Amino acid sequence: MSGLQIRLSEKLNLKAKTAVIIGAQWGDEGKGKIVDVLSDNFSVVARYAGGHNAGHTVIINGKKFILQLVPCGVLRKDCRGVIGNGVVLDPLAFLDEVGRLRDAGVKVDGNLFVSNRAQVILPYHRMIELAAENAPGRVKIGTTSRGIGPAYEDKMGRRGLRVIDLLDAQLLRTHIENACREKNMIGHALFNSEPIDADKMYAEYSRAAEKIAPYVRDTAALLNRAIADGEPVMFEGAQGTMLDIDHGTYPFVTSSSATSGGVATGTGVPPTAISQVIGVTKAYCTRVGGGPFPSEIGDAVGEQLRKRGNEYGAVTGRPRRCGWLDLPLLRYSNMINGSTWLVVTKLDVLDELAEIPVCIGYKINGKKISEIPADAAGFEKIEPTYETLPGWKQSTVGITDFEKLPARARQYLEFLEGASGGARIAMVSTGPEREQTIFMPDFAREILAREKKAGRQAS
């Protein structure tokens, strides 16, 4: 049965269970480890948004993998990885990452697929972004400088290059010549940027296209076919809810739909096929780059969390801003994403604290607010209300059973769950390794008991 022949009735009668893993905060919640742990129960893992601005760190037997574009599922040999149409793909970064994975013994060939409809990042996207970020009068977002925003601008402006076009030599040459002429004029006029050489770019990207061609598929058809065949599929979110282009702290956001809604448009799998949404939240909060952060802590305690949690960007190495757990934000994230399960990561980072403040509400001008402000200026006016919980002052590192956690750590998690607006705790991460994970029994029954089907060859 070809992907296009799947009938609607079959789609509605889904045999497979699918799950979306999203970041509930500003990214860096530790989704990489969680996707890696759960991928044992899924046949396919698909990325649906963002690009190589993401940095998913996975540690297996002490070996560290930082994945930027490739979904974490590929680290399991019987799990296929898909880069969906909603992703912006830098061909050179993709080939570099694939090469590093292959060198590390990871099976990528025949296991990893790139959407023919994904948009391509080209060097002028980085040129425009770097110049624009530093231009006088522009709001500095503090981006990862990977060309993500300008590539999405070209997509929406209907002047982007897609992976399918990258594989067409004639189209690629014409696109690069026209785009370079236009971008060089804009770069020179607005930012006095150095021009980019179209011939050199064509030579480099046509070579890259040949190497990428074996990975390219109609991934919407591939994913829909897998679901119709009863294979469990996981969607791996990148960044986090508060960096979502529509629902985040605009304009201090990334340029794609990081929330669960992005799955449908970013993969071609319909919303009716999504069965579970799992939100990942740190036991505290971090953010990289500019923008509002109501529960931010700037003092020595913030520095302590940064050190203990190794809070430095996986992609840029920038120190992350640290803050306390923010429950209004978590409730907002659960509402936007429809999360029914929560995964709490980095609980062990709080082990040494005698007291742990948690933001339980927001006030503006002394008045309680129940809705999150839509504007950055509104966000800056927020006065967080805190409740201070007692710390447990004992190590939780590596604990795998909820009942073995110190009583106060359990209370902290129960407090978080009770105030999260209905979502239940599914897992707790107590260290970076796969094994350092607590599975809550109800979640384990629902997700882990599922039989994983043997992966079939994608056509």
Q: Which residues bind to ligand IMP, rule: CB under 6 A?
A: 26-28, 53-55, 141-144, 146, 148-149, 238-239, 243, 252, 254-255, 288-289
- The residue number whose beta carbon is nearest to ligand IMP equals 289
Q: What is the nearest approach in angstroms of ligand IMP to the Cβ of residue 391?
A: 27
Phi, psi of 148 (to 5 degrees): -65, -55
Please report where in the chains the tokens 């929406």 appear, as a residue: 156
Q: Which residues are catalytic?
A: 28, 56
As a whole number of angstroms, the distance between CA 269 and CA 12 comes to 12
Nearer Cβ to ligand IMP, position 146 or 306? 146
Which positions ≥6 away from 273 have C-beta within 8 Å? 11, 14, 18, 224, 227
CA distance 245 to 183: 24
Identify which of residues 82 and 141 has a Cβ nearer to ligand IMP in the complex: 141
Closer to ligand IMP by Cβ: residue 3 or 50: 50
CA distance linking residue 183 with residue 163, whole number of Å: 20
Cβ pair 239, 280 in contact under 8 A: no
Instruction: Please state the φ and ψ torsions of residue 163, each to the nearest 5 degrees.
Output: -60, -40
Interatomic CA distance for residues 140 and 289, integer angstroms:
9
Minimum distance of ligand IMP from residue 245's CB (angstroms): 10
And the tokens for 106? 């990871």
Q: In whole angstroms, how close is the CB of 35 to ligand IMP at the nearest point? A: 13
Q: Which of 275, 272, 271 is nearest to 263 (CA)?
A: 271
How far apart are CB 405 and ligand IMP at their closest, in Å?
A: 28
Residue among 23 and 81 whose Cβ is closer to ligand IMP: 23
Strand locations in 186-291 (E): 216-217, 233-236, 276-282, 285-287
Q: Is 385 left (phi over 0), alpha (psi -120 to 50) or beta?
A: beta
Q: Round to whole Å and give the CA distance between 175 and 40.
A: 41
**If we measure between CA atoms, which residue out of 354, 330, 322 comes closest to residue 418?**
330
Q: Which is nearer to ligand IMP, 53 or 420 (CB)?
A: 53
Least spacing, CB of residue 88 vs ligand IMP, in Å:
10
Our CB check for ligand IMP shows the closer of 88 and 356 to be: 88
